């Protein structure tokens, strides 16, 4: 190989290396310039302060199954016994709020955090809403002994800041925790045969509330009417809105358009396509000119036909050869005609002069039946070895 032939090869290597280097630089720049994603409030997998990972793991540790209500429509699952409803990006419709109330009235439980005025259907269905103010009193009092082993009073830092619930539309709702005499932050309501717990934001069993406060006292009271091992559902359909994932990456398109890795992948695809266009490369095998063709040798035709028969699993000639070899070998031993059909041939061997022993006759019958079943290449090799052993033992 001359120096003139080496030079184009080296030049062709530098072009893809430059593309790879450019791809790496773009990826690093995209990663460094992308701010970290904002934590999603009430995310069941979120370990941040406003996430619900601690609550989900606690429920699973207690033996409850955790289910997410998502999909294209909101339907309370029949197998669930408790549903958590957190402040929503997608408001409840009138039919959905009525379906939730009917599900609770059938003997189930629900925990509703809020809601605010934007979730009008939920407010009108249950009669409880946020009062629209935050309070800064120092203590919270347990007005009803509904929290087992709970304290009579809690410091305000537990619920800082503390929003209030407006229970004026639900006179049957019973306050459980109140901010002195200003109003309730937790209440319980009977709906038919079921129970609804109303919680204000800040008393919502998030990671920070469970870790740095005493909000865990509420969970045993909420689970009091839930059977052991039952399914607990979280309404993620309304929680994250139409996207059902908030700002999370849900599809390949989201990953391509909204992540540094996706941007780098799109850039690499564009750069690779541009490289192919500039180099004039075809996506396929190279075209062979007439001057490069040559005639085939006879050995190539023989090899091609052999491979064709092997791919088609046609072993007819080999099977016929092994049958004749077996029959001719045994015919000389027992003085019978090798041209008989398999069944007649075996019968002749059994009554030949001398007759073939029973063990050898059974082996011959098994071999002939195996050859008649169109064996594969490996089975044919095994049958040929069995024929060799049988002919040796027959003589």
One domain for residues 318 and 221:
no
Per-residue burial over 63-93, b = 16 or more CB atoms within 10 Å of its CB, e = otherwise: ebebebbbeeebebeeebbbbbbbbbebbbe
One domain for residues 226 and 307:
no
In this prediction, residues 240-255 reach a mean pLDDT of 62
pLDDT digits 0-9 by tens, 293-329:
566 666 676 677 667 766 666 667 778 888 888 888 8
Location of structure tokens 């294209």: 72
Query: CATH no. for residue 64?
Result: 3.40.50
- Rounded CA separation 388/194 (Å): 83
Q: Would you state the pLDDT for residue 187? A: 94
Query: How buried is 309 (Cβ within 10 angstroms: 0-12 exposed, 13-18 middle, 19+ buried)?
Result: middle
171: DSSP letter: T
One domain for residues 176 and 315:
no
Examine the pLDDT at 153 and tell me if it is beyond 70. Answer: yes
Q: Would you state the pLDDT for residue 77? A: 92
Q: Is the dihedral of CA 166, 169, 170, 174 positive or negative?
A: positive
Residue 43 lies in a domain: no
Residue 137 lies in a domain: yes
Residue 338 lies in a domain: yes
Residue 289 lies in a domain: no
One domain for residues 237 and 260:
no
One domain for residues 216 and 304:
no
Residue 156 or 177, more confident: 177
Of the residues 243, 264, 288, which one is the last residue of a structural domain? 243
One domain for residues 230 and 318:
no
Residue 239 lies in a domain: yes
pLDDT band, residue 148 (cuts 50/70/90)? low
> Domain of 221?
53-243
pLDDT band, residue 123 (cuts 50/70/90)? very high
One domain for residues 21 and 95:
no
H or E segment at 113?
strand 109-113
Tokens of 84: 């958590």
pLDDT digits 0-9 by tens, 169-197:
999 999 998 887 778 989 999 999 999 99
One domain for residues 218 and 354:
no
Examine the pLDDT at 36 and tell me if it is beyond 70. Answer: no
**Least trusted range by pLDDT, from 40-44, 234-238, 248-252, 355-359:** 248-252
pLDDT, mean over the chain: 81
Q: Would you state the pLDDT for residue 190? A: 96
Q: Is the dihedral of CA 198, 202, 204, 210 positive or negative?
A: negative
Examine the pLDDT at 81 and tell me if it is beyond 70. Answer: yes
One domain for residues 64 and 177:
yes
Residue 42 lies in a domain: no
One domain for residues 111 and 206:
yes
- Rounded CA separation 334/352 (Å): 5
pLDDT band, residue 93 (cuts 50/70/90)? very high
Total domains in the chain come to 3
One domain for residues 212 and 131:
yes
pLDDT band, residue 62 (cuts 50/70/90)? very high
Location of structure tokens 């793991």: 57
How many residues would you count in the chain?
Answer: 395
pTM of the model as a whole: 0.56
Residue 376 lies in a domain: yes
Examine the pLDDT at 341 and tell me if it is beyond 80. Answer: yes
Examine the pLDDT at 3 and tell me if it is beyond 50. Answer: no
Residue 178 lies in a domain: yes
Of the residues 243, 262, 287, which one is the last residue of a structural domain? 243
- Rounded CA separation 350/371 (Å): 20
Q: Would you state the pLDDT for residue 288? A: 60
**Least trusted range by pLDDT, from 86-100, 120-134, 264-278, 341-355:** 264-278
The share of the chain scoring above pLDDT 90, in percent, equals 28
One domain for residues 178 and 236:
yes
């Amino acid at each position: 190989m001359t120096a003139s032939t080496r030079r184009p090869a080296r030049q062709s290597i530098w072009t893809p290396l430059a593309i790879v280097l450019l791809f790496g630089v773009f990826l690093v720049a995209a990663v460094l310039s992308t701010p970290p994603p904002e934590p999603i409030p009430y995310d069941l997998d979120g370990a941040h302060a406003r996430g619900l990972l601690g609550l989900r793991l606690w429920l699973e540790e207690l033996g409850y199954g955790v289910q997410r209500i998502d999909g294209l429509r909101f339907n309370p699952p029949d197998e669930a016994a408790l549903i958590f409803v957190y402040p929503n990006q997608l408001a409840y419709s009138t039919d959905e709020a009525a379906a939730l109330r009917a599900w609770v009235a059938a003997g189930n439980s629900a925990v509703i955090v809020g809601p605010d005025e934007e979730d009008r259907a939920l407010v009108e269905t249950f009669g409880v809403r946020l009062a629209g103010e935050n309070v800064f009193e120092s203590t919270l009092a347990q007005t009803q002994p509904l929290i087992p082993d709970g304290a009579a009073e809690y410091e305000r830092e537990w619920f800082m800041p503390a929003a209030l619930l407006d229970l004026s539309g639900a006179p049957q709702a019973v306050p459980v925790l109140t901010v002195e005499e200003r109003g309730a932050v937790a209440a319980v309501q009977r709906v038919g045969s079921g129970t609804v717990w109303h919680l204000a934001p800040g008393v919502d069993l998030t990671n920070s509330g469970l870790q740095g406060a005493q909000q865990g006292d509420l969970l045993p009271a909420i689970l009091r009417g839930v059977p052991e091992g039952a399914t607990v559902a979280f309404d993620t359909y309304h929680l994250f809105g139409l996207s059902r994932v908030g700002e999370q990456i849900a599809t390949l398109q989201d990953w391509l358009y909204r992540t540094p890795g996706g941007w780098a992948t799109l850039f690499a695809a564009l750069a690779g396509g541009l490289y192919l266009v500039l180099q004039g490369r075809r996506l396929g095998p190279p075209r062979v000119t007439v001057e490069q063709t040559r005639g085939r040798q006879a050995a190539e035709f023989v090899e091609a036909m052999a491979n064709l028969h092997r791919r088609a699993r046609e072993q007819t000639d080999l099977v016929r050869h092994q049958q004749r070899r077996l029959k001719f070998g045994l015919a000389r031993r027992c003085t019978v005609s090798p041209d008989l059909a398999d069944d007649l041939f075996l019968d002749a061997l059994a009554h030949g002069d001398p007759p073939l022993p029973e063990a050898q006759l059974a082996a011959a019958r098994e071999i002939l039946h195996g050859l008649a079943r169109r064996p594969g290449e490996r089975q044919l090799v095994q049958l040929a070895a069995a024929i060799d052993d049988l002919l040796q033992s027959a003589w």
